[in-house]
């Protein structure tokens, strides 16, 4: 397809980019906009490495045509930190050893972020369901679950103190 003007909100800022609307949101982010935090794993919606939030809901950016995001809101892993301050989920993943090779991590964190937006106090089962579309091939999911629980706790405490 020919390039079109695609205007949407990316990590809180309205942007305009000329791009082929038939490429994936994943390639729009990585190749056209230089946001390489979002990873390409399988490229067919099976692994979750490319997870971003579209209007607040976790989606596989490899399965979303760029044309679909016109006038909508996209949040990527780059949009979580506030300046030098990492998001509690990012800190918890580091502290709990939930990162090994790190390739699945941005997608895992975006799925977890989506969960915590909806359910600030998730059960273990809810965490497992929320990350069921994200594959980690290094070892397992235990530390990842612990990191999500830890971040939920920190966010709750932060919410109470502010």
Partner 1 sequence: MSYQVVTNLEQALAALKNAAEKSRIIAGGTDLFLEKLPENLLDVSSLAEALVIEERGSNLLIGAAVTHARAAASPLLCKKARALTEACAQVGSPQVRNIGTLGGNVINAAPAADAAVALAALGAKAELLDCSGNTRIVELEELYAGFNCSAIDSCQELLLRFMVHSGGPGSGSAFTRLAARKALALPMANAAAWLRVENNCLWEVRLVVAPVKPAPTRLFKTEALLAGKPLTAESWREAAQAAMEEVEVRGSLLRCSADYRRHLVGVLVGRVLETAAGRALTGKGEA
CA atoms within 13 A on the CB side of 41: 22
Instruction: Return the closest-CA partner of residue 89 out of 42, 34, 51, 33.
Output: 51
* DSSP type of residue 82: B
At closest approach, how far in Å is the CB of 101 from partner 1? 20
67 touching partner 1, by CB under 8 A: yes
> Among 63, 91, 95, 154, which residue interacts with partner 1 (rule: CB under 8 A)?
63
90 touching partner 1, by CB under 8 A: no
Q: From its phi and psi, is residue 83 left (phi > 0), alpha (psi between -120 and 50) or beta? A: left
Choice between 8 and 93, CB closer to partner 1: 8
109 touching partner 1, by CB under 8 A: no
CA–CA gap between residue 23 and residue 128 (Å, rounded): 31
Which parts of this chain interact with partner 1 (CB under 8 A)? Answer: 1-2, 4, 21-22, 24, 44-46, 48, 51, 54, 57-60, 63-68, 70-71, 111, 114, 129-130, 132-133, 135
């Amino acid at each position: 397809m020919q390039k079109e003007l695609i205007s949407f909100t990316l990590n809180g800022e309205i942007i305009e980019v000329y791009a082929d609307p038939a490429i994936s949101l994943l390639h729009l982010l990585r190749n056209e906009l230089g946001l390489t935090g979002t990873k390409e794993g399988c490229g067919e919606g099976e692994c979750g490495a490319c997870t971003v939030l579209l209007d607040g809901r976790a989606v596989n950016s490899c399965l979303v045509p760029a044309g679909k995001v016109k006038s909508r809101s996209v949040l990527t892993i780059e949009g979580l930190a506030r300046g030098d301050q990492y998001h509690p989920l990012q800190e918890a993943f580091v502290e709990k050893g939930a990162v090994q090779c790190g390739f699945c991590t941005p997608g895992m964190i975006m799925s977890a972020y989506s969960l915590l937006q909806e359910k600030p106090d998730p059960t273990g089962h809810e965490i497992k369901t929320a990350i069921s579309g994200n594959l980690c091939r290094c070892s397992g999911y235990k530390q990842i679950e612990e990191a999500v629980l830890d971040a939920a706790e920190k966010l709750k405490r932060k919410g109470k103190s502010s």
